[in-house]
A and B are shown apart, each in its own frame.
Chain A
């Protein structure tokens, strides 16, 4: 049996997905990127192979992606996370329908990607060099509000009334803005809800830049936050599709590229 690995070395976490020749996910692992992208990615892959009882020699092709993609020397190929994300989303949403727009929120980036009928990237937009509207932003907020990051979704739906406005374009300034809101005796729920809407507004701006087309797919860690999903859907005025494993779409896409490249290399 031959296996293919996609390694997505992101700013916050390393995502590895292993698939078989039929593009079925055999296993995946998410670990922190920390300060040593290459070392941790290598260790993480070893651990994953061990837990799946797959021998290294059965790993036919490795494709790396994400910010740290060029550091992973053992990869057979490296590819930008935008291309990998597009391919992963198309495959992950196979049963749902043809994906035309992808929203991805990562640790330090948010992106909107527009696809053509064949699933090729036709256009994309990314946030500027700043963490507003990214996963990092949610981390900062959760820390300040003394909440677990996984509970943000719950608090979102407890909010009553109009969401507060958090307008800062910078995660650091936003923290001071939140302190201001706490000082004005606003509830944690209302602040969480306001933060979600502020991220949603920025993300929808990106989507508008590439054009809103059906169907819309949302991935990256923050896609597990139901409150944020709700805010984006309301801002877009459309339903969005969340895959089963939102964090690994890009590494899944990289692994799929591995199958194609492997076949091409060996004339299969």
Chain B
């Protein structure tokens, strides 16, 4: 027998190839399944292809600040002339690599994040990482990543938000974070640079709100999966490019509305998405929802709405004042299920359902994401009380599950359609 001289692929090449395959499959689905393509979306499709298929770096000469969760204020990072990179990961390839380091029943998002660091295969490698102590698994993930040899700084985050003490506690944490990064970067945080970055992020948020107003209308002009892609790009994109692309998109959407180009039927149920965050390329659930002739009009999740919904409310443009208002934005307005009681999240969901005239709610929890799993019951009960239809789904990053999920989703949407028809 002769030895087969086939080249063996290195683990990094293999990982890159698998991730590119995952990415391109999702991007092609998004592009090809859509009868009425929006030109301005090409910027976002290309961006994800450049980063995940061509391994293009976006921030070569910048200091990159990795953030483990949504709660690390980007305003401060930009003010210190760094770029934030959110490390939450949606790749199944990385999930499989990471599962070696974690218990079997861990959250796929954490496994994928750990897998990304374990393979030491970076596009834009973070120079320093800040890890807010949010859920148990994120907290431990920071420690594991630090064992891989990265500089990880814990940022103490409270798990209650009602008390004045927790507010003070978090304000102190934010100040410590600002001091640490300022020292790391050898740059001072001042009134001017912080004010500028608050304004810039505020402007980006205002663009998101304009985009949302298109989804409030009776006639929908943008798909939910596209919005997830756009907000997801904010995790890592150059903020100026993102703003430009958004401006172009809003202009095109307005033109389409003027010429009455809409993308959903009147009967298509309007869905509010809530739960574990859809992160590229894990758009399985949103994609299945919209494949089944429903349309996602709003969401309550940390990869989208929760990032943009609330702005820093500044009373006086003094440094301390600005820092306090930034702190409040990331604590008081947060509806993450890590908090002890979380009536805010329920209120937010009900508010969004009414504002966006949603016909039903889809609640996804990643298997192993215990906080979303734990909060399921109280949210379901609250929705029932309000007479809002809700579907609870448990899923992970594996690509093989869609049969069982699509049955549930389609049946839910058929029932919503029936209800809509009968109302007429």
Contact = CB atoms under 8 A, between A and B. Distances in A.
Contact of B411 (A67, A83, A128, A129): A83
Contacts of A83: 411, 414-415
Interface residues of B, number: 15
Contacts of A129: 394, 401, 404
A126 B412 CA distance: 12
Contacts of A124: 408, 411-412
Contact of A120 (B394, B407, B410, B415): B415
A67 to B, nearest CB: 5
B186 interface: no
Contact of B414 (A80, A123, A128): A80
A120 B414 CA distance: 10
B295 to A, nearest CB: 18
B422 interface: yes
Contacts of B404: 109, 126, 129
A262 B411 CA distance: 21
A33 B407 CA distance: 18
Contacts of A109: 404, 407
Looking at A67, A83, A128, the one whose CB has the most chain B CB atoms below 10 A away is: A83
A80 B288 CA distance: 13
B410 A80 contact: yes
B394 to A, nearest CB: 6
A118 interface: yes
A25 interface: no
Looking at B401, B407, B419, B422, the one whose CB has the most chain A CB atoms below 10 A away is: B407
Contacts of B418: 120-121
A79 B414 contact: yes
B403 interface: yes
Interface in B360-414: 389, 394, 401, 403-404, 407-408, 410-412, 414
Interface in A71-108: 79-83
B403 A128 contact: no
Contact of A82 (B401, B403, B411, B419): B411
Interface string A116-143: 0010111110101100000000000000
Interface in B74-103: none
A82 B407 CA distance: 8
A254 B164 CA distance: 59
Contact of A80 (B389, B394, B411): B411
Given A67-B403, A129-B404, A122 B414 contact: no
B301 to A, nearest CB: 22
Contacts of A80: 407, 410-411, 414
A121 B411 contact: yes
Contact of A81 (B389, B407, B415): B407
A67 B415 contact: no
A128 B394 contact: yes
A81 B394 CA distance: 19
B422 A120 contact: yes
Interface string A50-80: 0000000000000000010000000000011
B284 to A, nearest CB: 13
Looking at A121, A122, A128, A129, the one whose CB has the most chain B CB atoms below 10 A away is: A129
Given A80-B410, A82-B414, A121-B418, 19 more contacts: A67-B407, A80-B407, A80-B414, A81-B411, A83-B415, A109-B407, A118-B422, A120-B415, A120-B418, A120-B422, A121-B411, A121-B414, A121-B415, A124-B408, A124-B412, A126-B407, A128-B394, A129-B394, A129-B404
Of all A-B residue pairs in the complex, the 7 with the closest CB atoms, nearest first, are A82-B411, A80-B410, A80-B411, A121-B415, A83-B414, A120-B418, A67-B403
Interface of A: 67, 79-83, 109, 118, 120-124, 126, 128-129
Interface of B: 389, 394, 401, 403-404, 407-408, 410-412, 414-415, 418-419, 422
